[in-house]
Structure 1
Amino acid sequence: MRALSSSFFARPAEVVGPELIGCRLVKRQTGGSLLWGVVVETEAYSQAEPACHGFRSRTKRNATLFGPPGHWYVYLTYGIHHCVNVVTDRDDWANGVLLRAIALPTEPPRIAAGPGLLARRFGIDLSHNAQPVAEDTGLWLSEASGPPGVLVESARVGIKQGLDLPWRWMLAGHPSLSKPVVPLQPRSD
């Protein structure tokens, strides 16, 4: 389960997001064993749109999201849940993909069905923020083992702006998805 190269992440989030479906999230456990699961749901965020943490400005909290690509951007939401993102695109441009759901082959389907559950099951917290997505850090993404299945896109969830962008991808009908498909909202230009 070799890590994806840093060049894989050096592309816009809306390109990387659907290509992460079917890839594996891998974490080296204490003692050397590997915990892994298949990515079944992602969402993309870009500085150019208002739902992105970097839309307004760079802050101490969101600085990791501004690059370089191929690093983890982990933040705490509602003061209790960690959310795991991988930084994409280029330096000085806030761009990333949120990992929304992972399917672990030998565990119940809902164990990592949502960003907070995913982070909890893999033991990912703020100590992983700004770390490279690489084997030597103990937390990485590896290639898909084959075609993932039918890919569905929808509106993102848990946000109030940017609902007109089809930047959420998931495996159709998978039992580990965090939420059902959400229809796009029409633009109000």
Structure 2
Amino acid sequence: MSVLTKEFFSKPSHIVAPNLIGCFLIKRLSKNNYLSGVIVETEAYSQEEASCHGFSGRTKRNETLFGEPGNLYIYLSFGIHSCVNIVTDKKNWASGVLIRSIAIKGENERIASGPGLLAKRFGLNRNFDNLPLSPANDFWLAKGENIKKMGNIVQTTRIGISQAKEIPWRWYLENSRSVSKRAKGDHIPPKNKCWSPSSLEGL
């Protein structure tokens, strides 16, 4: 299985975000035991727009977002829920992708269907902020699912923000029942017609 490298993330967030749909987030639990899930929903943020944490400049809180592409940027939403982001683009430019939802084979379809639930299931919190994604660090991303077989990817506006709400920088897999929130008029697919994640192979 192909591990996503720094080169993959060294592009603008709105380019990286849709390309993460279908990729695996992997956590090593022990030598031969892993937790993995398929990314089915992402959002992009970038310094030039007002909803980005780096819009008003660098601070102690957002320092990681200005750092190396491919590192985790984890913050607390309302001081409660951890949100897992991946730094993108280039150093000294605030840019990142929020991983909003993940589907995990053999588990409840809603177990990681939102930023807080996702972070909880994978045990990610502020202690992992600025961690480079790599098998050596027990958390990494890898190519996995065939997008053509997964179905249509919906592009829509971001949610849960108060500024720059009109920018269509959210993407999700239409056929997944693990998406946190669907666009208006998009109905949840029935179980017998939805896409289901496969398990990891080749680790």
Indicate the TM-score class for this superposition, using the shorter chain for normalisation.
over 0.9
In the alignment, does 2:47 pair up with 1:10? Answer: no
Look up the match of 2:58. Answer: 58
Equivalent residue letter for 1:152: V
**AA matched with 1:4:** L
Give 4+ residue runs of structure 1 displaced > 4 Å after superposition: none
Q: What's the counterpart of residue 155 of structure 2?
A: 153
Query: Which residue in 2 is equivalent to 1:110?
Result: 110
Deviation readout 1:132-180 (Å, 9 max, x if unpaired): 0111111111013312321001100000111111100000141100111
Aligned counterpart, 2:174: 172
| Alignment coverage as a number of residue pairs | 183
Structure 2 unaligned residues grouped into runs of 5+: 186-203
Q: TM-score, normalized by length of structure 2? A: 0.87
In the aligned structure 2, how far is the partner of 1:61 from the partner of 1:30?
32
Give identity over the alignment, percent. Answer: 50
Instruction: Report the equivalent of 2:194.
Output: none
Counterpart residue type for residue 140 of structure 2: W
Q: 2:122: which partner in 1? A: 122
Structure-2 residue corresponding to 1:81: 81
Give the superposition deviation at 1:80. Answer: 1.2
Q: In structure 2, do the counterparts of structure 1 residues 176 and 95 end up closer, same or farther at CA, with 3 Å as the change threshold?
A: same
- Could you tell me which residue of structure 2 aligns to residue 23 of structure 1? 23
Q: Distance in 1 between matches of 2:122 and 2:29?
A: 9
Q: After superposition, what is the alpha-carbon deviation per residue over 1:80-114, rounded to whole angstroms, capped at 9, x for unaligned?
A: 10000000000000000000000001101000000
Following the alignment from structure 1 to structure 2, what is the Cα–Cα distance between the partners of residues 182 and 87?
A: 29
Does the residue aligned with 2:119 lie in a helix, a strand or coil?
A: helix
Deviation at 1:68, TM superposition (A): 1.0
Q: Distance in 1 between matches of 2:12 and 2:106?
A: 33
Matches within 5 A, 1:90-101: 90-101=90-101
Say whether the 8 Å CA contact 1:101–1:118 is kept in structure 2.
Answer: yes
- 1:47 paired residue number: 47
Aligned partner of 2:173: which letter?
A: L
Structure 2 partner of 1:187? none
What is aligned with 2:141? 141
Residue 97 of structure 2 aligns with an amino acid whose one-letter code is V
Question: TM-score by structure 1 length?
Answer: 0.93
Amino acid of the structure 2 residue aligned with 1:120: K
Cα 1:11–1:143 shift into 2, 3 Å: same
Q: Is the 8 A contact 2:151 2:175 kept in 1?
A: no
SS at match of 2:16: helix
